[in-house]
Homo-oligomer: A and B are copies of this chain.
Amino acid sequence: MDSALLEIPDITAISAAAARIAGEAVRTPLIRSDVVDSRLGLRVYFKPENLQRTGSFKFRGAFNALSRLDEAQRAAGIVACSSGNHAQGVAEAARLLAIDATIFVPRDAPAIKVGRARRSGARIIAYDRTTEDREALADEFERRTGAHFVHPFNDPDVIAGQGTCGLEIAEDFAELGESPDRLLVSTGGGGLAAGVAIAMHHRFPNIAIHSVEPEGFDDYRRSLLAGGRQRNTRLGESACDALLSDSPGEISFAVSRMLLSEGLTVTDEEAFDAIRYAFAELKLVLEPGGSVALAALRKHAVQWRGETVVCILSGGNVDPGLYARVLGGAG
Protein backbone atom coordinates (compact mmCIF):
# COMPACT_ATOMS: atom_id res chain seq x y z
CA MET A 1 0.00 0.00 0.00
CA ASP A 2 1.20 3.51 -0.83
CA SER A 3 1.82 5.37 2.40
CA ALA A 4 0.00 8.38 0.96
CA LEU A 5 -3.18 6.31 1.26
CA LEU A 6 -2.71 5.53 4.93
CA GLU A 7 -5.18 7.02 7.38
CA ILE A 8 -2.99 8.51 10.07
CA PRO A 9 -4.79 9.66 13.21
CA ASP A 10 -4.12 13.23 14.33
CA ILE A 11 -4.53 15.02 17.65
CA THR A 12 -8.22 15.57 16.93
CA ALA A 13 -8.76 11.84 16.51
CA ILE A 14 -6.91 11.22 19.77
CA SER A 15 -9.00 13.82 21.61
CA ALA A 16 -12.16 12.20 20.24
CA ALA A 17 -10.87 8.82 21.43
CA ALA A 18 -10.25 10.31 24.89
CA ALA A 19 -13.88 11.43 25.04
CA ARG A 20 -15.05 7.93 23.99
CA ILE A 21 -13.02 6.03 26.57
CA ALA A 22 -13.71 8.48 29.43
CA GLY A 23 -15.47 6.71 32.27
CA GLU A 24 -14.47 3.28 30.93
CA ALA A 25 -10.68 3.44 30.86
CA VAL A 26 -8.65 4.38 33.94
CA ARG A 27 -7.06 7.81 33.68
CA THR A 28 -3.75 6.55 35.02
CA PRO A 29 -1.71 8.99 37.10
CA LEU A 30 1.88 10.08 36.59
CA ILE A 31 4.00 8.68 39.41
CA ARG A 32 7.31 10.03 40.68
CA SER A 33 9.83 8.65 43.14
CA ASP A 34 12.45 10.87 44.74
CA VAL A 35 14.48 7.79 45.57
CA VAL A 36 14.48 6.62 41.96
CA ASP A 37 15.33 10.14 40.76
CA SER A 38 18.28 10.48 43.10
CA ARG A 39 19.58 7.00 42.30
CA LEU A 40 19.30 7.49 38.55
CA GLY A 41 20.33 11.15 38.51
CA LEU A 42 17.35 12.39 36.51
CA ARG A 43 13.70 13.28 36.96
CA VAL A 44 11.40 10.44 35.96
CA TYR A 45 7.65 10.43 35.52
CA PHE A 46 6.20 6.94 35.27
CA LYS A 47 2.93 6.35 33.43
CA PRO A 48 1.70 3.09 35.02
CA GLU A 49 -0.50 1.49 32.37
CA ASN A 50 -0.33 -1.72 34.41
CA LEU A 51 -3.01 0.07 36.45
CA GLN A 52 -5.17 0.40 33.31
CA ARG A 53 -8.36 -1.62 32.96
CA THR A 54 -7.33 -5.17 31.89
CA GLY A 55 -3.80 -4.52 33.16
CA SER A 56 -2.33 -2.90 30.04
CA PHE A 57 -2.81 0.10 27.72
CA LYS A 58 -4.49 -2.17 25.14
CA PHE A 59 -7.98 -1.45 26.48
CA ARG A 60 -7.72 2.14 25.24
CA GLY A 61 -7.33 1.26 21.57
CA ALA A 62 -9.73 -1.67 21.68
CA PHE A 63 -12.53 0.34 23.28
CA ASN A 64 -12.05 3.24 20.90
CA ALA A 65 -12.07 1.00 17.82
CA LEU A 66 -15.12 -0.99 18.95
CA SER A 67 -17.01 2.19 19.89
CA ARG A 68 -16.78 3.31 16.27
CA LEU A 69 -18.48 0.22 14.81
CA ASP A 70 -22.00 0.76 13.52
CA GLU A 71 -25.02 -1.32 14.56
CA ALA A 72 -24.66 -3.85 11.74
CA GLN A 73 -20.95 -4.35 12.47
CA ARG A 74 -21.63 -4.78 16.17
CA ALA A 75 -24.29 -7.37 15.42
CA ALA A 76 -21.82 -9.37 13.28
CA GLY A 77 -19.31 -9.56 16.12
CA ILE A 78 -15.56 -9.01 16.12
CA VAL A 79 -12.48 -11.19 15.75
CA ALA A 80 -8.92 -10.56 16.91
CA CYS A 81 -5.55 -12.29 17.21
CA SER A 82 -3.39 -11.70 20.25
CA SER A 83 -0.85 -13.21 22.57
CA GLY A 84 -2.80 -11.75 25.44
CA ASN A 85 -3.00 -8.06 26.23
CA HIS A 86 -4.86 -7.09 23.06
CA ALA A 87 -7.09 -10.12 23.67
CA GLN A 88 -8.00 -8.86 27.14
CA GLY A 89 -8.54 -5.31 25.92
CA VAL A 90 -10.74 -6.42 23.04
CA ALA A 91 -12.68 -8.93 25.14
CA GLU A 92 -13.44 -6.40 27.87
CA ALA A 93 -14.36 -3.65 25.40
CA ALA A 94 -16.63 -6.10 23.55
CA ARG A 95 -18.28 -7.12 26.82
CA LEU A 96 -18.99 -3.49 27.73
CA LEU A 97 -20.43 -2.79 24.29
CA ALA A 98 -22.33 -6.11 24.15
CA ILE A 99 -20.45 -7.33 21.06
CA ASP A 100 -19.72 -11.01 20.43
CA ALA A 101 -15.92 -11.55 20.41
CA THR A 102 -13.76 -14.38 19.06
CA ILE A 103 -10.03 -14.28 19.72
CA PHE A 104 -7.22 -16.42 18.27
CA VAL A 105 -4.58 -16.90 20.94
CA PRO A 106 -1.24 -18.73 20.62
CA ARG A 107 -0.97 -21.87 22.71
CA ASP A 108 2.06 -20.45 24.58
CA ALA A 109 0.30 -17.26 25.70
CA PRO A 110 0.40 -16.60 29.47
CA ALA A 111 -2.49 -18.29 31.25
CA ILE A 112 -3.40 -15.13 33.16
CA LYS A 113 -3.99 -13.22 29.92
CA VAL A 114 -6.06 -15.92 28.26
CA GLY A 115 -8.08 -16.49 31.44
CA ARG A 116 -8.95 -12.81 31.66
CA ALA A 117 -10.09 -12.62 28.04
CA ARG A 118 -12.30 -15.65 28.69
CA ARG A 119 -13.60 -14.06 31.91
CA SER A 120 -14.75 -11.08 29.85
CA GLY A 121 -16.85 -13.49 27.81
CA ALA A 122 -14.75 -13.88 24.65
CA ARG A 123 -14.60 -17.13 22.66
CA ILE A 124 -10.95 -18.25 22.69
CA ILE A 125 -9.46 -20.32 19.85
CA ALA A 126 -5.90 -21.55 20.43
CA TYR A 127 -3.38 -21.85 17.57
CA ASP A 128 0.24 -22.86 17.18
CA ARG A 129 2.47 -19.80 16.78
CA THR A 130 5.16 -21.74 14.90
CA THR A 131 3.02 -23.68 12.39
CA GLU A 132 -0.13 -21.60 11.88
CA ASP A 133 -0.55 -18.08 10.47
CA ARG A 134 -2.81 -16.17 12.82
CA GLU A 135 -3.77 -13.54 10.28
CA ALA A 136 -4.87 -16.24 7.83
CA LEU A 137 -6.94 -17.91 10.55
CA ALA A 138 -8.63 -14.64 11.43
CA ASP A 139 -9.15 -13.78 7.75
CA GLU A 140 -10.88 -17.05 7.14
CA PHE A 141 -13.07 -16.54 10.22
CA GLU A 142 -13.91 -13.01 9.10
CA ARG A 143 -14.97 -14.18 5.62
CA ARG A 144 -17.03 -17.02 7.03
CA THR A 145 -18.87 -15.10 9.75
CA GLY A 146 -18.80 -11.45 8.66
CA ALA A 147 -17.08 -10.54 11.95
CA HIS A 148 -15.06 -7.33 11.99
CA PHE A 149 -11.30 -7.87 12.44
CA VAL A 150 -9.70 -5.66 15.11
CA HIS A 151 -6.01 -5.37 14.30
CA PRO A 152 -3.78 -5.04 17.38
CA PHE A 153 -1.93 -2.02 15.97
CA ASN A 154 -2.37 -1.36 12.24
CA ASP A 155 -5.68 0.46 12.65
CA PRO A 156 -6.10 4.24 12.96
CA ASP A 157 -8.79 3.89 15.66
CA VAL A 158 -6.60 1.57 17.70
CA ILE A 159 -3.65 3.95 17.37
CA ALA A 160 -5.83 6.94 18.29
CA GLY A 161 -7.01 5.03 21.37
CA GLN A 162 -3.45 4.22 22.47
CA GLY A 163 -2.66 7.89 21.85
CA THR A 164 -4.93 8.85 24.76
CA CYS A 165 -2.13 7.58 26.99
CA GLY A 166 0.13 10.26 25.52
CA LEU A 167 -2.61 12.88 25.65
CA GLU A 168 -2.98 12.31 29.40
CA ILE A 169 0.78 12.61 29.87
CA ALA A 170 0.82 15.87 27.88
CA GLU A 171 -2.12 17.27 29.86
CA ASP A 172 -0.52 16.37 33.18
CA PHE A 173 2.78 17.99 32.17
CA ALA A 174 0.95 21.14 31.10
CA GLU A 175 -0.72 21.23 34.52
CA LEU A 176 2.63 20.71 36.25
CA GLY A 177 4.18 23.44 34.15
CA GLU A 178 7.04 21.12 33.19
CA SER A 179 8.42 19.87 29.88
CA PRO A 180 9.69 16.35 29.30
CA ASP A 181 12.99 15.96 27.44
CA ARG A 182 12.52 12.31 26.54
CA LEU A 183 9.95 9.51 26.52
CA LEU A 184 10.50 5.75 26.51
CA VAL A 185 7.81 3.44 25.18
CA SER A 186 7.72 -0.34 24.79
CA THR A 187 7.12 -1.32 21.18
CA GLY A 188 5.75 -4.45 19.56
CA GLY A 189 3.73 -3.52 16.47
CA GLY A 190 4.09 0.10 17.51
CA GLY A 191 0.51 1.22 18.06
CA LEU A 192 1.26 2.68 21.47
CA ALA A 193 4.48 4.31 20.29
CA ALA A 194 2.72 5.93 17.32
CA GLY A 195 -0.30 7.16 19.25
CA VAL A 196 1.77 8.49 22.13
CA ALA A 197 4.22 10.14 19.72
CA ILE A 198 1.43 12.02 17.92
CA ALA A 199 -0.07 13.29 21.18
CA MET A 200 3.21 14.20 22.86
CA HIS A 201 4.80 15.74 19.79
CA HIS A 202 1.77 17.96 19.31
CA ARG A 203 2.38 19.61 22.68
CA PHE A 204 6.15 19.08 23.03
CA PRO A 205 7.69 19.21 19.53
CA ASN A 206 11.26 18.89 20.82
CA ILE A 207 10.79 15.72 22.86
CA ALA A 208 12.95 12.70 21.99
CA ILE A 209 10.83 9.55 21.84
CA HIS A 210 12.48 6.13 21.89
CA SER A 211 10.93 2.79 21.03
CA VAL A 212 12.16 0.04 23.37
CA GLU A 213 12.22 -3.59 22.21
CA PRO A 214 13.57 -6.93 23.38
CA GLU A 215 17.00 -7.72 21.96
CA GLY A 216 16.59 -9.84 18.82
CA PHE A 217 13.09 -8.43 18.22
CA ASP A 218 14.32 -4.97 17.27
CA ASP A 219 12.35 -4.57 14.05
CA TYR A 220 11.57 -0.96 15.00
CA ARG A 221 15.16 -0.04 15.76
CA ARG A 222 16.34 -1.56 12.48
CA SER A 223 13.43 -0.14 10.49
CA LEU A 224 14.09 3.36 11.82
CA LEU A 225 17.76 3.02 10.85
CA ALA A 226 16.96 1.61 7.41
CA GLY A 227 14.15 4.05 6.69
CA GLY A 228 11.81 1.18 5.78
CA ARG A 229 10.02 -1.66 7.53
CA GLN A 230 12.24 -4.61 8.51
CA ARG A 231 11.12 -8.01 9.78
CA ASN A 232 12.30 -9.92 12.83
CA THR A 233 13.90 -13.22 11.99
CA ARG A 234 13.39 -14.78 15.42
CA LEU A 235 10.03 -15.94 16.74
CA GLY A 236 8.88 -16.65 20.26
CA GLU A 237 12.17 -16.71 22.14
CA SER A 238 11.75 -13.70 24.40
CA ALA A 239 10.19 -13.44 27.84
CA CYS A 240 8.51 -10.26 26.57
CA ASP A 241 5.49 -12.07 25.09
CA ALA A 242 3.68 -8.76 24.62
CA LEU A 243 6.30 -7.38 22.21
CA LEU A 244 6.84 -10.10 19.60
CA SER A 245 5.18 -8.70 16.46
CA ASP A 246 7.29 -9.59 13.46
CA SER A 247 7.46 -6.13 11.86
CA PRO A 248 6.29 -2.56 12.40
CA GLY A 249 2.71 -1.80 11.41
CA GLU A 250 2.36 0.24 8.23
CA ILE A 251 0.53 3.14 9.86
CA SER A 252 2.53 3.13 13.07
CA PHE A 253 5.80 3.04 11.15
CA ALA A 254 4.72 5.95 8.94
CA VAL A 255 4.20 7.92 12.16
CA SER A 256 7.31 6.61 13.85
CA ARG A 257 9.74 7.41 11.07
CA MET A 258 8.63 11.05 11.39
CA LEU A 259 8.45 11.34 15.16
CA LEU A 260 10.73 8.76 16.80
CA SER A 261 14.39 9.01 17.75
CA GLU A 262 16.80 6.09 17.94
CA GLY A 263 15.29 2.74 18.91
CA LEU A 264 16.60 1.03 22.03
CA THR A 265 16.79 -2.63 23.04
CA VAL A 266 17.09 -4.54 26.30
CA THR A 267 17.80 -8.17 27.13
CA ASP A 268 15.38 -10.44 28.94
CA GLU A 269 17.70 -10.29 31.96
CA GLU A 270 17.54 -6.49 31.93
CA ALA A 271 13.74 -6.72 31.73
CA PHE A 272 13.72 -9.10 34.74
CA ASP A 273 15.99 -6.70 36.64
CA ALA A 274 13.51 -3.92 35.87
CA ILE A 275 10.65 -6.09 37.21
CA ARG A 276 12.59 -6.55 40.46
CA TYR A 277 13.38 -2.83 40.58
CA ALA A 278 9.69 -1.93 40.11
CA PHE A 279 8.77 -4.41 42.86
CA ALA A 280 11.29 -2.96 45.31
CA GLU A 281 11.24 0.75 44.48
CA LEU A 282 7.84 1.43 42.91
CA LYS A 283 5.68 -1.34 44.44
CA LEU A 284 4.22 -1.92 40.98
CA VAL A 285 3.72 -5.32 39.36
CA LEU A 286 5.09 -5.33 35.80
CA GLU A 287 5.14 -8.04 33.17
CA PRO A 288 8.35 -8.53 31.15
CA GLY A 289 7.08 -6.62 28.11
CA GLY A 290 5.77 -3.88 30.41
CA SER A 291 9.15 -3.35 32.02
CA VAL A 292 11.39 -2.75 28.99
CA ALA A 293 11.09 1.06 29.06
CA LEU A 294 12.19 1.02 32.70
CA ALA A 295 15.03 -1.34 31.79
CA ALA A 296 16.18 1.04 29.04
CA LEU A 297 15.91 3.98 31.43
CA ARG A 298 18.22 2.28 33.92
CA LYS A 299 20.62 1.29 31.14
CA HIS A 300 20.93 4.80 29.68
CA ALA A 301 20.35 7.01 32.74
CA VAL A 302 23.96 8.18 32.85
CA GLN A 303 23.75 9.62 29.31
CA TRP A 304 20.56 11.50 30.15
CA ARG A 305 21.69 12.93 33.47
CA GLY A 306 19.57 15.87 34.68
CA GLU A 307 16.85 15.36 32.08
CA THR A 308 13.12 14.94 32.66
CA VAL A 309 12.13 11.55 31.26
CA VAL A 310 8.73 9.89 30.85
CA CYS A 311 8.74 6.13 31.17
CA ILE A 312 5.62 4.22 30.14
CA LEU A 313 5.07 1.02 32.12
CA SER A 314 2.84 -0.62 29.56
CA GLY A 315 1.46 -3.70 31.34
CA GLY A 316 1.39 -5.90 34.40
CA ASN A 317 -0.22 -9.15 33.27
CA VAL A 318 2.27 -11.72 34.48
CA ASP A 319 1.63 -15.22 35.73
CA PRO A 320 2.30 -15.48 39.48
CA GLY A 321 4.65 -18.43 38.97
CA LEU A 322 6.91 -16.52 36.58
CA TYR A 323 6.78 -13.44 38.81
CA ALA A 324 7.80 -15.48 41.86
CA ARG A 325 10.71 -16.98 39.90
CA VAL A 326 11.84 -13.54 38.74
CA LEU A 327 11.76 -12.24 42.34
CA GLY A 328 13.84 -15.24 43.34
CA GLY A 329 16.49 -14.17 40.83
CA ALA A 330 15.55 -16.44 37.91
CA GLY A 331 13.46 -15.86 34.79
Contacts and interface: CB of A to CB of B under 8 A. Distances in A.
B323 A280 contact: no
Nearest to A48: B283
A305 interface: no
A26 interface: yes
Interface in A280-306: 280, 282-286
A276 B286 CA distance: 14
Contact of A328 (B32, B282, B320): B320
Contacts of A50: 283
A236 interface: no
Contacts of A8: none
Contacts of A323: 279, 324, 327
A69 interface: no
Interface string A19-36: 000001010010111110
Nearest to A279: B285
A77 interface: no
Nearest to A282: B51
A285 B313 CA distance: 15
Nearest to A31: B51
Nearest to A285: B283
Contacts of A285: 279, 283-285
Nearest to A46: B51
Interface in A1-48: 24, 26, 29, 31-35, 48
Nearest to A287: B283
Contacts of A283: 48, 50-51, 55, 284-286, 316
A201 interface: no
Contacts of A286: 283
A183 to B, nearest CB: 20
By CB atoms of chain B within 10 A, which of A31, A286, A320, A323 has the most? A320
Contacts of A151: none
Interface string A311-331: 000001000110111011000
A276 B279 CA distance: 14
Nearest to A39: B119
A54 B51 CA distance: 20
Nearest to A53: B34
A109 interface: no
A45 to B, nearest CB: 12
8 contacts: A26-B31, A29-B29, A33-B53, A279-B323, A280-B320, A283-B284, A320-B328, A324-B328
Interface of A: 24, 26, 29, 31-35, 48, 50-51, 53-55, 112, 276, 279-280, 282-286, 316, 320-321, 323-325, 327-328
Given A279-B323, A284-B285, 8 more contacts: A26-B31, A50-B283, A280-B320, A285-B285, A320-B327, A321-B328, A324-B325, A324-B327
